[in-house]
Amino acid sequence: MELKAREIAAMIGGSVEGDSELMISKLAKIESGEPNSLSFLANPKYEPYIYTTTASVIIVSNDFKPEQPITCTLIRVEDPYIAIARLLDIYNQMNKPKTGISSLAFVSGSVKTGEDVYIGEFSYIGENVTIADRVKIYPQVYIGDNVEIGEGTTLYPGVKIYHDCKIGTSCTIHAGVVLGADGFGFAPQDGSNYLKIAQIGNVVIEDNVEIGANTTIDRATMGSTTIRKGVKLDNLIQVGHNVEIGENTVIAAQVGIAGSTQIGRNCMIGGQAGFAGHIVVADDVKIGAQAGIPGNIKQPGSTLLGAPAIEIGRFRRSIAVFNNLDKLVQRVSELEKQLARFNEPKDGKEV
């Protein structure tokens, strides 16, 4: 990437303060910037680095006021974090020009492909698959029969998509993801045996979804397991059969969601949280890391912590008590000793 400061500013809707003709050839962190590199300042705790960095251009907010002299050129924007996210996406797209179908891939004769499609080595594409324009399928991807993949979606190496699943436009599916494996459905019988319940549904991924490496999303028993548009899933997440995750919800790593749970829109869920099955979570809910969710969360916008999870205010009060339990135990022990001394016989008489 080689762009002038003014060209970068135009891409992210910013204004240049300094040398607009400076040529930028790389991106760098502000604390380790080099000449001809671009960085950004979004977190105030990194402000000291802007006075010492050797980066040529720094993206800052419109209201940033330096407290010391600055030698680098500034690009001022409304939100530096969003601006750098857009720039990184542009940079990433510039580095993904792959097109063409490898002769070492297996593509069934009934597959329908759009324009500028890339299918890498040792990938397998089953019968009646539909692949839209600009889809990127990296090596060793498996795509089962009757799968549909929307425009501009990327499947990284080793992704496995079982039959009948549907993926929307502009999705990113990272390495090792499995979509559409059987849901965990077994009916107990007499004795210790279980009867497997056939899982005949599918998985539906809507538009602009990103799914992290080695995440698994099980197919529905009947109907669909559904990930709504804009959802962002981290690595190593387990989504059970018939789950629905609402629009623009973000979920961190190692979360487990049991079957038939419905999670609302715009929720934020911390790592290692666990959800019981057949429950409903309202919109705009925030759930802390390692929380346990055993039942419905009915209040939109609530914040919960702990296992079992409780409202954040109650959790903080409870933690305050918990952190003093050792002192409380000591006090109770001292009181018991004092009470025992008080009840000791005096002059041969019981008190």
In this predicted structure, what is the pLDDT of residue 190?
82
Domain boundary pick from 62, 78, 94? 94
Type of residue at 318: S
Same domain, residue pair 35 and 89: yes
Domain boundary pick from 94, 126, 150? 94
The domain total for the chain is 2
CB burial of residue 308 (10 Å; 0-12, 13-18, 19+): exposed
What residues make up the domain containing 73?
Answer: 3-94
Same domain, residue pair 299 and 238: yes
Same domain, residue pair 50 and 112: no
**5-33 pLDDT, tens per residue?**
999 999 999 999 999 999 999 989 999 88
Same domain, residue pair 165 and 33: no
Determine which one of 163, 174, 241, 278 is catalytic. 241
Same domain, residue pair 56 and 129: no
Element counts in the chain: helices (H) and strands (E): 5, 40
Same domain, residue pair 216 and 129: yes
Average pLDDT, the chain: 94
Closest CA to 16 of 1, 6, 24: 6
Question: Any idea what the CATH number is for the domain that residue 49 is in?
Answer: 3.40.1390.10
Same domain, residue pair 171 and 223: yes
Same domain, residue pair 187 and 249: yes
User: Is 241 a residue of the active site?
Assistant: yes
Q: Are 146 and 127 in contact (CB under 8 A)?
A: yes
DSSP H or E stretch at residue 187: strand 186-188
Same domain, residue pair 247 and 162: yes
Residue 349: pLDDT band by 50, 70, 90 thresholds? low
Residue 130 lies in a domain: yes
Residue 44 lies in a domain: yes
Question: Any idea what the CATH number is for the domain that residue 229 is in?
Answer: 2.160.10.10
Same domain, residue pair 176 and 262: yes
Residue 39: pLDDT band by 50, 70, 90 thresholds? very high
**84-124 pLDDT, tens per residue?**
999 988 887 777 678 899 999 999 999 999 999 999 999 99
CA gap 296, 275 in Å, rounded: 10
